[in-house]
Chain A
């Protein structure tokens, strides 16, 4: 397999590609073909090398044996446009059915002197409210602090995890999403809001 680099790629950038391959256990040599720098993969996993297409410096990856396989994907028009239009019609249909069967209502007139016994919250705020309600009233601030810390950590995640796009995908986010989705769903449907 040969990795064709874009014309004008500097020596440092070539070294960067070689270093990425070396990290993945692929042995290489750098040669010039038709005026373009190319990296010849001598041994190692070519499956991992295919991910190199994500790098800016890489123009194409050409196998030295077997047919050339295009990985550029289907064109947006017509393939995705047709599928998107079909999906949009289905979603719109579902929304029309929901609008017809569960119309948004209009509640009682305002009574500013008497708060309702139990306030009904929209589904998207039930989970955080129920999470805060897990703490005793005197320590409710701790619940809010946890929520703010979560928000803060999510916002600064790209700074916390400084790995690059082409580095192997870590496993922890998948586990975190699964646990978070389970906890959030439980709190939304079964949580008690004060």
Chain B
């Protein structure tokens, strides 16, 4: 550690050099996997948003532009698509591991709640992303999904109306799905992932440094 490094860098260095208690090894690796895949999603998502146009007449054209004319566009879109599935898979494995190892209780409960939230958000992100191509399959998927939402008691009709932006699935719906996918859900997931990391770091710190 250079002598002139101060403040935040010193803290960061201390975190990097801290021993990882064996009890938290798997949780840490799964958490880091989620963070890395989330960052990959964010980076490729920003690149895609530079060329994507959320308007029904031009969606197909912009997607074809990304796949054919933009340099490495096919790779960026492919990475965005497959890393979404990978993120979902890692979130699922994390929940299964937390349950199997009994880490849903006591001081680990925060990981359980945030893990469940992350899984739900990753699923919503993946699903809303599939709709953005706005082809026949996406149109009928969102129509069917909104019918399911509508059938939910109490708030179903109102929620479906808000998501659809009216009575029918049209350009407004696409705009709302795009806003959810690119502006709302990523930030919420980012905060949830950051919260998971913070709680894990706190537990690791409380458990570090023992000898036996």
Contact = CB atoms under 8 A, between A and B. Distances in A.
Interface residues of A, number: 69
Interface string A43-63: 000000010011010111111
Contact of A157 (B75, B112, B211): B112
B64 interface: yes
A169 B63 CA distance: 50
A161 B20 CA distance: 28
A124 B101 contact: no
A16 B115 CA distance: 30
Interface string B53-76: 000100010011001000000110
A139 interface: no
B154 interface: no
B113 to A, nearest CB: 7
Nearest to B15: A76
Interface residues of B, number: 70
Contacts of B208: 72-73
Given A71-B211, A158-B104, A99 B32 contact: no
A72 B99 contact: no
Contacts, number: 188
Interface string B131-146: 0011111111101100
A125 B127 CA distance: 9
B130 interface: yes
A173 B78 contact: no
A166 B206 CA distance: 14
B121 interface: no
Interface in B191-212: 206-212
Contacts of A157: 99, 104-105, 112
A131 B55 CA distance: 35
B204 to A, nearest CB: 9
Contacts of A119: 137, 140-141, 144
Contact of B112 (A58, A116, A158, A177): A158
Interface stretch (A7-15, A18-26, A27-35, A100-108): A100-108
B49 to A, nearest CB: 16
A108 B135 contact: yes
Interface string A154-165: 110110011111
Contact of B17 (A72, A76, A91, A116): A76
Interface string A122-160: 111100000000000000000000000000001101100
Interface centre among B21, B74, B99 (most CB of A within 10 A): B99
A82 interface: no
B64 to A, nearest CB: 7
Interface stretch (B3-11, B82-90, B158-166, B177-185): B82-90
8 contacts: A69-B211, A76-B19, A107-B138, A110-B134, A115-B143, A155-B113, A157-B105, A173-B104
Interface of A: 50, 53-54, 56, 58-63, 68-77, 80-81, 84, 87-88, 91-92, 95-96, 98-100, 102-104, 106-112, 115-116, 119-125, 154-155, 157-158, 161-166, 169-170, 173-174, 176-177, 180-181
